[in-house]
Amino acid sequence: MISRKMQDAMNDQVAAEFYSAHLYLSMSAYLESIDLPGFANWMRIQYQEEVSHGMKMFDYVIERDGRVLVKAIDAPLSEWKSVVSVFEAVYEHEQKVTGLINNLVDIALSEKDHASHIFLQWFVNEQVEEESTAKGIVRQLTMLGDSKAGLFQVDRELAQRVFTPPATTAR
């Protein structure tokens, strides 16, 4: 059984994951509005990933005989200055999420909740990948400067991204 403290923290994280999903969907809409469908596709895939992360935690709380409480989420931003500023915001957001995941790990350790600690390792590893990917795109866009041809090429590359659902646990 999951402790009340861990359950509450997981419920907060479920809300944070769904906020992330909405943020990335908003970024997708913005990128579509400036005619960058490949970048928009990348954000739509990111949206799907965040929903799956939220559901993974949702299911985990239930599996541990906890109670999931669906919480309200704030509306995300809808405008950015540039494609670079969008991805800088992604990188900053993923750093924030890393901090939230690390906090969950700290709670699991303080509660001696070994099951949650093990469960959260997947998210710890996922955040390393998320931050690295976002930072890499920011660097790539920064190197391009004002190159429209370079932006077009990156847009085409990001259009190739497809959603791969994470492995689920048996219930």
Q: Which domain holds residue 141?
A: 4-158
- The CA distance from 26 to 15, in Å, is 16
171, part of any domain = no
C-alpha distances in angstroms, 116 versus 9, 40, 167? 11, 34, 17
Report which DSSP code applies to 82.
S
Q: Say if 20 falls within a structural domain.
A: yes
| Token pair recorded at residue 49 | 């990933």
Quote the number of domains for the chain.
Answer: 1
State the pTM of this model. Answer: 0.94
Return per-residue pLDDT of the chain as tens, 171 residues: 999 999 999 999 999 999 999 999 999 999 999 999 999 999 999 999 999 999 999 999 999 999 999 999 999 999 999 999 999 999 999 999 999 999 999 999 999 999 999 999 999 999 999 999 999 999 999 999 999 999 999 999 999 999 998 876 544
Rounded CA separation 131/27 (Å): 17
CB 95, CB 131: distance < 8 Å? yes
Tell me the CATH number at 108: 1.20.1260.10
Q: Which two tokens stand for residue 108?
A: 């699991």
Say if 68 falls within a structural domain.
yes
Q: Is residue 100 part of a domain?
A: yes
